[in-house]
Amino acid sequence: MTSEIGLVGLGTMGAALAMNIAEKGFDIAVWNRTTQVTHDFHAASGELASKITPTDSLEDLVTAIRAPRAIILMVPAGQAVDDQIAALRPLLGPDDLIIDAGNANFHDTNRRAREATGPFLGIGVSGGEEGARHGPSIMGGGKREYWDRVSHVLEAISAKYEGTPCATWMGEEGAGHFVKAVHNGIEYADMQMIAEIYGILRDGMGYDAGAVGAVFDRWNEGPLRSYLVEISGKVAGTTDAATNAPLLDVIVDAAGQKGTGRWTVIEAQHLAAPIPAIEAAVVARNLSSRRDARAEGEVLFGAAPRPMADGTLTVDAMEQAMICGKILCYAQGFVMISAASDAFGWALPLPEIARVWREGCIIRSDMLNDMASALTDDPMRNLMFAPFFSEKLKTSHDALRQVVAQAALHGIPAPALGSGLTYFDAMRTHRGTANMIQGQRDFFGLHGFARLDDGSTGQHGPWAH
Ligand code: 6PG
């Protein structure tokens, strides 16, 4: 009974998190379904070995932790989490806390929190293996009193932004996993926009991978400074050892996904929250996996006339387009969080969310600090209307228009940038075209419409009689 905390599941993320916890000075007991994995992990933990207690059974794990216990689950999302809870809970005391730190669907976390026969938290952990090992961004959900019991550990292991821990309680039940899902949706859109810029540089402007990498490296010194731009520069600049070709040129152009982006899009539809850039990114991943169909299409229709004449686009215009697209994508994500906050009665802390994303997580960037400031001024305002960002949009939307238009004219798909532009234009059009939709709905279904002139509702056209 010496360990402060326990951890179940020593896969890549679990092992990294356990090492991080031990390194921050907490005694931790660990257990993995395959006992050998537990012992191999302990043997490889070097000077942290004395802080780590390997255990061979769940009973031993429980015994090794001081009561009231806290046990982190790092097992694959889905049924494995339910199975693990079912196996663990009967061994625990009434005050012992189970913390699911995997990438759970927040609906599952809601259910688990409601069904739990003892304390339960669902926390979103972002930052990949490196983050888990040296400082992730942590988004907590569940009863505040449970969060408060372990927040000293979670804050200690989290990333720090200028000394401030990137670990925050977001709200009840699945709030933490919900915020993590939106984080991943934004992650998809940010990645997709970078990939679209790469496509224009490669196919429109004839840049080789090294030159693309140099562009991203340069952008990473300016307003777009972010982990994703940084790693994109590194990916593009890497040479494949086997072929000596740029690694990017030998990677198959079909993107995988575990589903978090998709969950975000599905939830956005339920909430009627428009997140077109994120939707476009999920669609683009789905489309990317249809390689055979795309090959067939290229034979049938011919490849698009992709090379652009010199000077059609400048790299500076593309940087401005990326800035514009990124602001619009994040604005959409935060509006969705705000919609969920209302719909689920969570009071999600929008400025805090921007703050915990400033370090440790995959979407960390300088711009998130400005977003945190803008959301502190007015948490309910769409970021695109916040003075700092509206000024940026005013000076960058022309560039986004140029990039999207030229991409379209040259047959280069740019769905996320394009949907960002469409969102921008829709959001600055007072008189839209849904009056036609309302007319159509009334014509075929007598659904009624509101009138502009006298403000009356439930009106019908002459076809009603
Ligand atoms: C993070 C990442 C991490 C992981 C996701 C995305 O925040 O650390 O989002 O959770 O990379 O699972 O994976 P997919 O691209 O496979 O959906």
pTM for this structure?
Answer: 0.96
What digits encode the pLDDT tens for the residues 30-79? 999 999 999 999 999 999 999 999 999 999 999 999 999 999 999 999 99
Residues with CB under 6 A from ligand 1: 103, 126-128, 184, 187, 256-258, 260-261, 361-362
CA 184 to centroid of ligand 1, rounded, Å: 6
Catalytic residue among 4, 51, 173, 180: 180
CA 188 to centroid of ligand 1, rounded, Å: 9
What digits encode the pLDDT tens for the residues 242-285? 999 999 999 999 998 998 999 999 999 999 999 999 999 999 99
Query: Is the alpha carbon torsion for 152, 155, 156, 160 positive or negative?
Result: negative
In this predicted structure, the answer to whether residue 374 has a pLDDT above a threshold of 90 is: yes
Q: Is 180 a catalytic residue?
A: yes
Percent pLDDT > 90 in the chain is: 97
Average pLDDT value for residue range 379-391: 95
Q: Which helix (H) or strand (E) holds 29?
A: strand 28-31
Query: Is the alpha carbon torsion for 266, 268, 272, 277 positive or negative?
Result: negative
Going by C-beta distance under 8 Å and a sequence separation of 6 or more, which residues neighbour residue 109? Answer: 100, 122, 141, 173, 174, 176, 177
Within the chain, all domains assigned CATH 1.20.5 are found at 435-465
173-177-183 Cα angle (round to 5): 145
**What pLDDT, on a 0 to 100 scale, did the predictor assign at position 74?**
98
CB of 6 within 8 A of CB of 29?
A: yes
Going by CATH, does the domain composed of 181-427 fall within 2.60.40.730? Answer: no
Q: CA-to-CA distance for 151 and 141, rounded, in angstroms?
A: 12
Q: Is 51 a catalytic residue?
A: no
**What pLDDT, on a 0 to 100 scale, did the predictor assign at position 2?**
87
**What pLDDT, on a 0 to 100 scale, did the predictor assign at position 464?**
86
What digits encode the pLDDT tens for the residues 157-207? 999 999 999 999 999 999 999 999 999 999 999 999 999 999 999 999 999
- In the CATH scheme, what is the code of domain 5-173? 3.40.50.720
From the alpha carbon of 128, which atom of ligand 1 is closest?
8
User: What is the CATH architecture of 435-465?
Assistant: Up-down Bundle (1.20)
From the alpha carbon of 259, which atom of ligand 1 is closest?
17
* Secondary structure of residue 78 in the 3-state scheme: coil
Q: CA-to-CA distance for 307 and 272, rounded, in angstroms?
A: 39
From the alpha carbon of 256, which atom of ligand 1 is closest?
16
Q: CA-to-CA distance for 356 and 26, rounded, in angstroms?
A: 22
For atom 4 of ligand 1, which residue has the closest CA? 128
What digits encode the pLDDT tens for the residues 89-135? 999 999 999 999 999 999 999 999 999 999 999 999 999 999 999 99
Residue 1's pLDDT band, with cuts at 50, 70 and 90, is low
Within the chain, all domains assigned CATH 3.40.50.720 are found at 5-173
Q: CA-to-CA distance for 190 and 182, rounded, in angstroms?
A: 12
Within the chain, all domains assigned CATH 1.10.1040.10 are found at 181-427
In this predicted structure, the answer to whether residue 358 has a pLDDT above a threshold of 90 is: yes
For atom 15 of ligand 1, which residue has the closest CA? 257
Residue 415's pLDDT band, with cuts at 50, 70 and 90, is very high
Average pLDDT, the chain: 97
CA 438 to centroid of ligand 1, rounded, Å: 40
Percent pLDDT > 70 in the chain is: 100
